[in-house]
Amino acid sequence: MAGRAATSSAKWAKEFLFRRVSSNPLGATRNCSSVPGASSAPKVPHFSKKGRILTGATIGLAIAGGAYVSTADEATFCGWLFNATKVVNPFFALLDAEFAHKLAVSAAARGWVPREKRPDPAILGLEVWGRKFSNPIGLAAGFDKNAEATEGLLGMGFGFVEVGSVTPVPQEGNPKPRIFRLSQEGAIINRCGFNSEGIVVVAKRLGAQHGKRMLAETSGTSSSPSDDVKPGGKSGPGILGVNLGKNKTSEDAAADYVQGVHNLSQYADYLVINVSSPNTAGLRMLQGRKQLKDLVKKVQAARDEMQWGDEGPPPLLVKIAPDLSRGELEDIAAVALALHLDGLIISNTTVSRPDPVSNNPVATEAGGLSGKPLFPLSTNMLRDMYTLTRGKIPLIGCGGVSSGEDAYKKIRAGATLVQLYTGFAYGGPALIPQIKEELVKCLERDGFKSIHEAIGADHR
C-alpha cells in the first residue's frame, strides 16, 4: 500500500506539472520575439511570482508525501496529507478570489485533494429523512455550483455536499469582480448572481457520477467502507443535495424550480428551493407567506408526480435569508408546518454589515456577506425557527461556522445538520477533520452520546 501511495504521489506531481505548463491557468504568456511575423513562434509560459510559489509548494508537498508514506500507515499518512494543506492554502489568498475558487474546485474535481480514509466516530453518525449521515458537517451550496467536484469533496470527509444553485438556462451571473475577501474578519462578500452552466450540463454530470457508482456496486469494485461508515447516498460516500435557483430574466419562478425538479431530483438525496439569495432581483419576495406557499405546493406536486422506487422522493427543503423579521419567520414556519416541508436551511448570506465588518472599506460593496460575522445573526434565527416549528422540522444551520464549537452551538440551537462554506474557503481541507474532532470533544464534554441527543439542547 505504501508503494502504491508513493507512486500515486509521483504520478500526481508529474500530471500537475504537465497541466501547469501546458494550460498555464494564470493566463500569463509572453512571445519570444516582437519581430513582425514572429507570432507563430513557440510561446514560453511565464509564471508569475505567486504562481511559481504556489506550484513549488504543491510539488514539494507531493514529493515529501511520497517519501513520508513509505514509513507511515494509511491513517497516519491521511492525517499528514490534511495537515499538509495548511501549508498550501495560504497561497490561495494571494490569488484573485474568484480565480482561487475556480482553482480549488478544479483541484477537487481532479482528485488533487486529500481523501479521508479514517472512519468517522460513531458519535457523529445520524439518520435524517431515512438517510444515513456519517457526520453532520456539510458543504453549503455555492462552492461547487455546477457539480464538477462532488466525488472529491465528499471524499474529503464531508457528511454531505450541496451543489448549485442550478438554474434552468445557463447564465453568466453578475459582472466581475463579484467576490471580495474581508480576511481580517474571516468574511466574504459576493454578488455572483446565480452564475450557472444550467440544468442540462449539471444533469449530465450527475448522471455520469450516478452511473459510475451503480457500475462499481454491481461489479463489486467499490472501495467504500462498510455500511456503518458509508451511508447510501446517490453520489457515493456521503449525501448529495441539489440547490435549485431561478434564472434572472425568468417571469415564472415556479416553472424554473419545477424544471429543476424534473431534471435533477433523480440524482439528489435532497432538494433545496433557494429563495433567499440577495443577488437576484425580486427573489427574496418569494419568502412571503402566500408566495412561498404557492411555490412549495407546485414544486412538491412536480416531485410527487414522478416515479420513485422504494426509497421514495427526495426530501424538499427551503433556504431562507437571515434578514427576515419575526413576523416573516412566523409566516415561513406556518407554511413549513402546514405543507409538511422536509426541512429549512438557515441561513443564506446577509445584506447587513454587522460589526466589525462595517468598519472595513470593502463593506461598501454590494452583495451578501458570509463568514464569521454572520454567525450570531444566523444562529439566533436558527434558535427562533426551532421554537416556531416546535422542533418538528429538521433544520440545517449555516452561517459563520469555522470550528467544532461553532457547529456544536448550531446543533444546540436546533440544527440537525450544519453547513460551512466561507470557513472552508479560508481554512481549506484541514478544517474538515478538525471540526469533526472538536465536535466530538464538545459532545463528550457535555455528556451527549450522539448528535441526536444534542439537537435543540438549549431549548430544554
Whole-number Å distance between alpha carbons of 15 and 404:
35
Q: How high is the pLDDT of residue 58?
A: 57
Q: Which amino acid is at 95?
A: L
Q: How high is the pLDDT of residue 5?
A: 44
Q: How high is the pLDDT of residue 36?
A: 39
Q: Are 243 and 272 a contacting pair, CB within 8 Å?
A: yes
Residue appearing with cell numbers 439528489: 268
Q: Are 88 and 60 a contacting pair, CB within 8 Å?
A: no
Q: How high is the pLDDT of residue 224?
A: 44
Q: Are 346 and 375 a contacting pair, CB within 8 Å?
A: no
Q: How high is the pLDDT of residue 40?
A: 40
33 belongs to the catalytic site: no
Catalytic one of 276, 277, 378, 403: 277
Q: φ and ψ at 392, to 5 degrees?
A: -90, -15
Kindly list the distances between the CA atom of residue 190 and the CA atoms of 35, 154, 179, 283, 425, in Å, as whole numbers in the listed order. 44, 24, 4, 16, 13
Work out whether strand 417-420 and strand 395-398 pair parallel, antiparallel, or are unpaired.
Answer: parallel
431 CB contacts (<8 Å, ≥6 apart)? 402, 420, 423, 424
Residue appearing with cell numbers 472552508: 424
Total residue count of the chain as it appears in this document: 460
Q: How high is the pLDDT of residue 220?
A: 61
Q: Are 160 and 131 a contacting pair, CB within 8 Å?
A: no
Q: How high is the pLDDT of residue 60?
A: 57
Whole-number Å distance between alpha carbons of 417 and 211:
28
Q: How high is the pLDDT of residue 102?
A: 96
Q: φ and ψ at 196, to 5 degrees?
A: -150, 145
Left if phi > 0, otherwise alpha if psi is -120 to 50, otherwise beta: which for 132?
A: beta
E strands within 324-416? 343-346, 368-371, 395-398
pLDDT along the chain (460 residues), means of 10: 45 45 38 38 46 57 52 78 90 93 96 94 96 97 97 96 97 96 96 96 93 73 44 72 96 96 96 94 92 97 94 95 96 97 97 93 96 97 98 98 98 98 96 98 98 97
Maximum Cα interatomic distance, the chain, rounded to a whole number of Å: 79
DSSP 278: T
